[in-house]
Amino acid sequence: MSIRTPEWVKDAVFYQVFPDRFARSGRQNLNLHLQPWGEAPTLHDYMGGDLWGVIERLDHIQSLGVNALYFCPVFQSASNHRYHTHDYFKVDPMLGGDDALRTLIDAAHARGMKVVLDGVFNHASRGFFQFNDLLEQGEHSAYRDWFHVQGWPLYPYEHQHPANYAAWWGNRALPKFNTSNPSVREFLWSVAEHWIALGIDGWRLDVPNEIDDDSFWQAFRRRVKAINPEAYIVGEIWGDAGRWLSGDQFDAVMNYNFTRPCLAYFGAQSLDNAVNRVSGIEALEPLDTANFAQRVTEVTQAHDPQIVQAQLNLLDSHDTARFLTAVSGDASAFRLATIFQMTYPGAPCIYYGDEIGLPGGPDPDCRRAFPWDQPESWDRQILHLIQNLTAARHASRALRRGDFTVLHAEHDLLAYRRQDVDECAYVLMNTGLDASDLRLSGLTPGQYKDALSGHRYVVGDTQTFSVPGRGGLVLTQS
Active site residues: 206, 236
Task: Please state whether beta strands 114-119 and 68-71 pair in parallel, antiparallel, or not at all (unpaired).
Answer: parallel
The span from the CA of 387 to the CA of 399, in Å, is 15
Contact 196, 117 (CB under 8 A): no
Contact 272, 334 (CB under 8 A): no
The span from the CA of 380 to the CA of 411, in Å, is 30
Alpha helices (H) in 202-245, listed in sequence order: 214-227
Contact 469, 433 (CB under 8 A): yes
Burial class (CB in 10 A: 0-12, 13-18, 19+), 150: exposed
The span from the CA of 374 to the CA of 376, in Å, is 5
The span from the CA of 154 to the CA of 366, in Å, is 34
Beta-carbon contacts of 128 under 8 Å, excluding residues fewer than 6 positions away, are 85, 86, 87, 175
Q: Where is 427: in which H helix or E strand? A: strand 424-430
